[in-house]
Amino acid sequence: MARRGGRRDQRLTMAAAPVLAVRDLSVALSRNGRSSRVLEAVSFAVAPHEIVALVGASGSGKSTLGLAIQGLLPRDARPEISGSICVAEAELVGAAEPALRQIRRSLVRVVPQDPLSGLDPTMTIGRQMAGKAREREAIAWLRRTGIADPERVARSYPHRLSGGQRQRVLIAMAMLARPRLLIADEPTTALDVLTQAQVLETLRGLTRAEGSALLFITHDLAVATSLADRVVVLEAGQVVEIGPVGAMLAAPQAAATRRLLAARYDLGSDRNRPLPAEGASVAWPAARRDASKVLELVGVSKTLGRRQVVHQVDLSIEAGESVAVVGESGAGKSTLLRIAAGLTKPDAGTVTRLGETRPQIVFQDPVAALTPWLSVGEQVADRLRGLGLNTAERRRRLGEAFAMVGLPESLMAALPGELSVGQCQRAVLARAIVVPPRLLLCDEPASAIDMPLAAAMLNLIGALRRRLGMALLFVTHDIAAARLIGDRIAVMQDGAVIEAGEAEALIARPATAHTRALVAAIPRFETAR
């Protein structure tokens, strides 16, 4: 455990030396007995006080890199590491476990991805942050992360706090050690847009004030560029581009960077055509519309426990129309969607649906929405039962559905566990449209997946609803996604629709402060495209 003598004077030499120096790092992890290269000859450095964003699509190896820098690669995966990782001149590769722990304790700290499961549910915040001895210090740090009542939070158990509060707790817990390097692994993916912006600001402010370097791992180039000094782009385990933010945005060198940039959507994206994620695109065809109402909600209210989650909502959707409902978490949008689907009975108000096919729902978590022990093909074909189709006909319809969502037919026999998250989401869509409903309901289908996948999903849903003539109710916390997918947008706050209108008009001239805040929270590129 004792530090070697040579490290004592490291603070003297630190001014020039990088906080983190990764040189020629290769990592192989084995899964189900097969070993595969996850990182290949990765080299980059982070200077003191610097904010570096590590950007890549899912599967690019960025989280593995984050774990390697903590010396926490999963032991079950029998990691084979070569190369060098130096944190404040301490070598991690090949270091003994006590030395690694010492480094984690005082030099490198992490803000994890999912704040909801990142805290011990059986222990108060104060105790798991610092133990009894340093409770006052913990409270001071909680206050610095922007928590209004740190004393109460320190006495609380995690389940009493919101996602944003928990992420602030995790930031405070990490900063408590005054680390030389803070690694933030997608710390805002699980948070809604408003909270995300605040948490990012907190991260930047605190690390700047404390002089900690920040390595920010993300799939979102806009977040990366709004926060970082330099960007490292990772693809398939290799660094494909590295450089200052401005230069990279002006002239992206690597194809992977250009793809990430293309998949990026914001309030300036062209909503008259698909996002250019998969190459150039032609304009959307006009949707088939008519004035018949596929869904009409009048004066709908719902109380859960003591809280009124939905309050006097009127909403109607015409055939072929797409309506996006936007709001923070807890605004009541998911409950509204469940009421529209007929899964939840409203306490007051009327719900009228058109057509005999029930509305179909695409939920946020595609993996959880599929039965793990049934093949994907079986689950999609389930909805074809009872239509009086023969085997050949069923087989044909199933093939069509798979083709429409862009899944290869070879995956019909696969179990959900063998599919990627993006493929699972496509399978869920295939199940929803194999018998096209008059109304498709989507509950944040693009928020738990990374940016390129989300763009592809928005394109796919936009294409399917136009092709099959479905009306769409799309629930999201991201007003940029709402603008792309919705003809109209309804903004919800505290259970009520506070504003609704044509998408472009509503965003150009928000009538309420809340909508203005939602618009302002969308990260934008700092340099012009």
Of residues 271-310, which lie at the interface with other proteins (CB under 8 A)?
Answer: 305-307
Measured from the CB of residue 190, what is the shortest distance to other proteins in angstroms?
11
Residue 64 or residue 322: which is nearer to other proteins going by CB?
Answer: 64
Whole-angstrom distance, CA of residue 89 vs CA of residue 86: 5
Q: Does residue number 128 form part of the binding site for other proteins (CB under 8 A)?
A: yes
**Which residue, 224, 235, 242, is CA-closest to 259?**
235
Assess contact for 480 and 266: CB atoms under 8 A: yes
Q: Cα separation of 220 and 293, whole Å? A: 38
Using DSSP, state whether 491 is helix, strand or coil: strand
Q: What interhelical angle do 421-433 and 451-468 show, nearest 10? A: 10
| Binds other proteins (CB under 8 A): choice among 40, 89, 114, 278 | 114
Facing residues of 265 across strands? none
Give me the amino acid identity at 517: A
Task: Tell the smallest beta-carbon distance from residue 115 to other proteins (Å).
Answer: 9
Whole-number minimum distance, CB 458 to other proteins, in Å?
28
Cβ proximity to other proteins, 181 vs 317, nearer residue: 181
- Cβ-based nearer residue to other proteins, 57 or 111: 111
Least gap, CB of 91 to other proteins (angstroms): 17
CA angle 310, 315, 320 (to 5 degrees): 135
177 binds other proteins (CB under 8 A): yes
Q: Which is nearer to other proteins, 84 or 106 (CB)?
A: 106
Give CA 380 to chain center in angstroms.
Answer: 26
Q: Spell out where 89-149 has E strands.
A: 90-91, 108-111
The set of long-range contacts for 230-233, using a CB threshold of 8 Å and a minimum separation of 24, is: 230/50, 230/51, 230/52, 230/53, 231/52, 231/53, 231/55, 232/44, 232/52, 232/53, 232/54, 232/55, 233/55, 233/56, 233/257, 233/260
Q: What is the spatial distance between Cα 527 and Cα 375, in angstroms, rounded to a whole number?
A: 47
Contact yes or no for 474/322 (Cβ under 8 A): yes
Q: Pick the stretch among 24-32, 121-129, 140-148, 382-390 that binds other proteins (CB under 8 A).
A: 121-129
- Could you tell me the smallest distance in angstroms from the CB atom of residue 478 to other proteins? 24
Q: Within 428-487, which residues bind other proteins (CB under 8 A)?
A: none
For residue 186, the minimal CB distance to other proteins (Å) is 12
Residues 369-428 that bind other proteins (CB under 8 A): none
- State the nearest-atom distance from the C-beta of 117 to other proteins, in Å: 4
Name the residue among 479, 493, 485 with its Cα closest to residue 456: 485
Q: Retrieve residue 524's tokens.
A: 């934008």
Candidates 12-20, 122-130, 211-219, 256-264 — which segment interacts with other proteins by CB under 8 A? Answer: 122-130
Query: Of 117-125, 243-251, 399-407, 430-438, which part binds other proteins (CB under 8 A)?
Result: 117-125
Torsion of the alpha carbons at 317, 323, 325 and 326, rounded to the nearest 10: -160
Question: Which strands make up the sheet holding 290-304, listed edge to edge?
Answer: 307-319, 290-304, 348-353
Q: In this structure, are residues 208 and 251 in contact, taking their beta carbons and an 8 Å threshold?
A: no
- Closer Cβ to other proteins, 302 or 488, answer by number: 302
How far apart CA 474 and CA 337 sit, in angstroms, is: 9
Q: What are the residues whose beta carbons fall under 8 Å from the beta carbon of 376, sequence distance 6 or more?
A: 370, 407, 411, 412, 413, 414, 415, 416, 419, 427, 430
CB of 137 to other proteins, least distance (A): 14
State the nearest-atom distance from the C-beta of 132 to other proteins, in Å: 13
Which residue lies nearer to other proteins by CB, 121 or 205?
A: 121
Beta pairing partners, 181: 108, 213
Whichever of 104 and 259 has its CB closer to other proteins, that residue is: 104
Q: Under rule CB under 8 A, which residues in 11-70 are in contact with other proteins?
A: 70
Residues within window 147-176 making contact with other proteins, judged by CB under 8 A: 157, 159, 170, 173
Residue 43 is classified by DSSP as E
Q: Which amino acid is at 422?
A: G
Nearer to other proteins, 63 or 269 (CB): 63
Count of residues in contact with other proteins, rule CB under 8 A: 31
The distance from CA 73 to its chain's CA centroid, rounded to whole angstroms, is 23
Over the window 84 to 113, marking each residue x when it contacts other proteins by CB under 8 A and - when it does not, the resulting string is -------------xx--xxxxxx--xx-xx
Q: Which stretch binds other proteins (CB under 8 A): 79-87, 119-127, 217-225, 495-503?
A: 119-127
Find the binder of other proteins among 8, 32, 122, 291 (CB under 8 A): 122
Is-contact 427 378, C-beta < 8 A?
A: no
Q: Minimum Å distance from CB 331 to other proteins?
A: 16
Contact with other proteins (CB under 8 A) among 18, 56, 79, 118: 118
**What is the C-alpha R_g of the chain?**
25
Contact criterion met (CB below 8 Å) for 165 and 195: no
Residue 345 within binding range of other proteins, rule CB under 8 A? no
Q: Give the one residue of 14, 17, 72, 435 binding other proteins; rule: CB under 8 A.
A: 72
Looking at the Cβ atoms of 9 and 97, the one nearer to other proteins is: 97
Q: Closer CB to other proteins, residue 103 or residue 518?
A: 103
- Report the interface residues with other proteins, using CB under 8 A: 70, 72, 97-98, 101-106, 109-110, 112-114, 117-123, 128, 157, 159, 170, 173, 177, 305-307
